[in-house]
Amino acid sequence: MYLIGLTGGIASGKSTVARRLVEHGAIHLDADQLARRVVEPGTTCLQAIVDEFGEDVLRSDGTLDRQRLGEIVFGDDEARARLNAIVHPAVRELSGRLIAKAEQEDPDAVIVYDVPLLVEAQVDHPFDLVVVTSAPKRAQVKRLVEERGLDPIQAEARVDAQVGDAERRAVADVVIDTGGTIAHTMSQADALWVDIERTRHAKHG
């Protein structure tokens, strides 16, 4: 099995790179989706969030009101740390299980684990390769406004709230520059796949 950790700032082209690697045959795990799964109704994780932040974070149907919770923790480092202490271990445990399952089903699997908060959450899976997508701040803000409908001030706050690019680059084995066209991003992902295949064959060969 070959495990790639894929990370990058908000709207930095992670999903484009992940999609391209999946087209080449990789298995995609998305930390954001796992974070939703661990807080579904009936989970101990959701109960812990309610115990910590109150019933107000639940919608009337018993699901987590992510927007309400986001408002509580956004801009409050201490509250965010308390939330992360509940969610991150649960996501780590679930991702560990899914990675093990994928390896069992195919010992030669290439798994792309897409973790926006790889640096912040100190995700410590034994990655073979850490790939960071990097775009200039103005490109990230523009994408958030155009593709996700945020207003420019909100978009800028979102980008600024994250770990700086330098800290991500410090953990990167490979940096993919996503500031240009989608075709340019794709061709870098293609080149990365060729390198990965070469590395794996060298190991086995």
Do 150 and 144 touch, CB atoms closer than 8 A?
yes
**Does 14 show up as a binding residue in the annotation?**
yes
**Does 137 show up as a binding residue in the annotation?**
no
CA 17, CA 114: separation in Å to the nearest integer?
A: 10
DSSP letters along the chain, please? -EEEEEEESTTSSHHHHHHHHHHTT-EEEEHHHHHHHTTSTT-HHHHHHHHHH-GGGB-TTSSB-HHHHHHHHTT-HHHHHHHHHHHHHHHHHHHHHHHHHHHHH-TT-EEEEE-TTTTTTT-----SEEEEEE--HHHHHHHHHHHH---HHHHHHHHHTSPPHHHHHHH-SEEEE-SS-HHHHHHHHHHHHHHHHHHHHHHH-
Do 6 and 123 touch, CB atoms closer than 8 A?
no
**Does 203 show up as a binding residue in the annotation?**
no
**Does 13 show up as a binding residue in the annotation?**
yes
**Does 90 show up as a binding residue in the annotation?**
no
- Residue ranges of the binding site: 11-16
- Residue ranges of the binding site for ATP: 11-16
